Amino acid sequence: MPLTTADLTLPALRAAYAAGSLTPTALAQQLLPAVAASQSVFISRPTEEEVLERCRFLESLPAEQRGPLWGIPFAVKDNIDVAGCPTTAACPAFEYAAAEHARAVKPLFDAGGIFLGKTNLDQFACGLVGTRSPYGVPANAFDDRFSPGGSSCGSAVAVAAGLCTFALGTDTAGSGRVPAGNNGIVGIKPSVGRFSTTGVVPACQLLDCPSVFALSVEDGAEVARLMENGDIADPTYRLPNAANLAKRWTPQAAFRFALPGPQFLDDSFLGPGGEPVRQAMEAAMGEAVQRLTALGGELVPGFDFAPFAETAVLLYGAAFVAERYAGIREFLEGRLEAPLAAPQLASIHDDERMLKVIRTIISKTEGFSSADVFQGLQQLTQLRGKCRVELAKIDVLVVPTSAYNYTIQEIQAEEEVPEYPKVTFHKNANLGRWTNFVNLQDMCGVSVYSGLLRLQGGAGETEEQRARQEHLAATGNPTSVLPFGITMLAPSWTDEYVAGIAAAYEKTTGLAAGPAGHGVTPYRSPK
């Protein structure tokens, strides 16, 4: 029998190993053909013999030396260093050989994990769509016509497709949550500083954090505990808030939660899917509220989401975007040592080493001054004060993981328009509506699957809606069945508290991760 995602959870693999019905070698031999056959999920992989050699080494260890991830397969986003592997950040010209593991990765090897490969991403982790890579677009686990989400597209698809038990991503603007929601799995977005970013290619370095994609909240939370950074000498170390760190949720304990107001939810559910999508997502949010209430939650009315929405705009619409330039400045300005000898470029827009859409985003740096940076910081300080007032009213903020999904065709059509310097990428921005504010507001969160959106084809009321229906019909199926996810958010260092509620919520859905766990046969359009 082929392995399913249910067979790959931490408890399932441990039980199989303990019973003697499975070994790491046997597991790898089952997974490796599917890993090799996957399209655009991995950028680089160890050889089959290297993986099997790792398995034999693990099997040679006496029981007392076998770590908590003994024999557990995992993957790593290709902007995070793994010793002996190239790191590309999905930019071939940027490639370098990593001399050592990123600090967040090393504990996973030490704990006995089996590394299967480096996964695809939106170039330089710049995007939430999963379509901005020269290495192709990983197929959404449910329907390959739709975005897999980004930037950690390969990691999310690898987990949802049953290629590994967990995978590392990164999350600056939502890259650890949107792909989880789009593929019906769990995304752990830690507090900034909980995991080291040493050995991670910067996106916005002060906001970056590695993330975990998993088949369950409990699996993801366990992996996250192994990755915690306790090294005060690490330049990315951050002193935790002790009170928040100690906070735990126990089953049926009362908690307060809030939703964004209807003025924020209603319009975010509109788009190419039209009124049927809005109604379906509204119903899905209603079901989420019922489940949370049954767990002991109290919905707090009158929560003001406006300062969070204003914060979200800052990440790409203010001088904070300059940090994306700063993170790869040596590469952009041609100061890297051999083998790269890049020319000094008059404009980032002329740098054909990068995809055009990435050049467009990073080149926004040219429009901001140092004074704009400080003005942005001052604006953020004001918004943080307003958000603190709102967060004091609740324990958890609950939002849709993303507003809705787009087809790959819709995204690429918008990003291929000729007037590049003036373009705003609205679809990517909409996917980040519920994610872009989180790190700027110093929050942590968990994205968890929450249901299905079953949408029938229709005539469509607008040109955009009609274009979608024509595309879906032309690709063999006018209907779509996509996962719906919610994200639970709270102030930094309450990671364990949020995970406790999210794990209990996950059990109320009656679902499990990926298409199989949702009872869905993945749709693959005819080629």
d(CA 219, CA 424): 37
Phi/psi of residue 115, nearest 5 degrees: -80, 125
In whole angstroms, give the CA distance from residue 14 to residue 191. 29
Catalytic one of 38, 151, 196, 216: 151
Q: Beta strands 210-214 and 297-299: pairing type?
A: unpaired
Measured CA to CA, the distance from residue 512 to residue 153 in angstroms comes to 20
The torsion of the CA quartet 113, 116, 118, 120, rounded to 10 degrees, works out to: -120
Q: In this structure, how many other beta carbons lie within 10 angstroms of the beta carbon of residue 440?
A: 24
Contact in structure between 141 and 161 (CB atoms under 8 Å):
yes
Give the relative orientation of helices 495-508 and 274-294 as an angle to the nearest 10 degrees: 110
Q: Residue 302's pLDDT is what?
A: 95
pLDDT, one tens digit for every residue, the chain (527 residues): 689 999 999 999 999 999 999 999 999 999 999 999 999 999 999 999 999 999 999 999 999 999 999 999 999 999 999 999 999 999 999 999 999 999 999 999 999 999 999 999 999 999 999 999 999 999 999 999 999 999 999 999 999 999 999 999 999 999 999 999 999 999 999 999 999 999 999 999 999 999 999 999 999 999 999 999 999 999 999 999 999 999 999 998 999 999 998 888 866 666 777 778 888 889 999 999 999 999 999 999 999 999 999 999 999 888 888 899 899 998 988 754 544 334 444 467 788 999 999 998 888 887 788 899 999 999 999 999 999 999 999 999 999 999 789 999 999 999 986 555 556 788 999 999 999 999 999 999 999 999 999 987 666 678 888 899 999 999 999 999 999 999 999 999 999 999 999 999 999 999 999 999 999 999 999 97
Task: Look at residue 338 in the predicted model and tell me its pLDDT.
Answer: 44
| Beta-carbon count within 10 A of 417 CB | 10
Residue 318: predicted pLDDT: 84
| Architecture in CATH for domain 5-240 | Alpha-Beta Complex (3.90)
- Cβ distance 24 to 58 under 8 Å? yes
- Given 40, 77, 147, 211, the catalytic residue: 77
Per residue in 383-430, pLDDT (tens digit) is 999 999 999 999 999 999 997 899 999 999 999 865 555 567 889 999
- d(CA 500, CA 251) in angstroms, rounded, equals 8
What would the two tokens of residue 471 be?
């595309």
| CB-count burial class (<10 Å; 0-12, 13-18, 19+) for 463 | exposed
DSSP secondary structure, 445-507, as one string: EEEEEEEEEEE-----SSHHHHHHHHHHHHTT-S-EEEEEEEEEEEETT-HHHHHHHHHHHHH
The DSSP element (H or E) to which 87 belongs, if any, is strand 86-87
What is d(CA 427, CA 456) in angstroms, rounded to the nearest whole number? Answer: 22
Per-residue pLDDT at 346: 45
How far apart are the C-alpha atoms of 23 and 194, rounded to whole Å? 33
Q: What is the Cα–Cα distance from 333 to 348, expressed in whole angstroms? A: 9
CA distances from 39 to 34, 43, 53, 120, 161 (A): 10, 10, 25, 10, 12
Give the domain ranges of the chain.
5-240
* Nearest Cα residue to 398 out of 474, 285, 239: 285
Q: What is the pLDDT of residues 18-33, one digit of tens each?
A: 999 999 999 999 999 9
Does 77 participate in catalysis according to the annotation?
A: yes
Task: Spot the catalytic one: 40, 133, 147, 175.
Answer: 175
Q: Is 480 one of the annotated active-site residues of the chain?
A: no
Annotation says 247 is catalytic? no
- Residues 6 or more apart whose Cβ sits within 8 Å of residue 113: 69, 72, 73, 74
Residue-wise burial string across 74-104, b where 16 or more C-beta atoms lie within 10 A, e elsewhere = bbbbbbbbbeebbbbbbbeebbbebeebbbb
User: In sequence order, which ranges of 318-369 are alpha helices (DSSP H)?
Assistant: 322-327, 329-333, 356-362
C-beta neighbour count of 47 within 10 angstroms: 9
* Strands 210-214, 186-189: pairing kind: antiparallel
Place of tokens 């507001």: 441
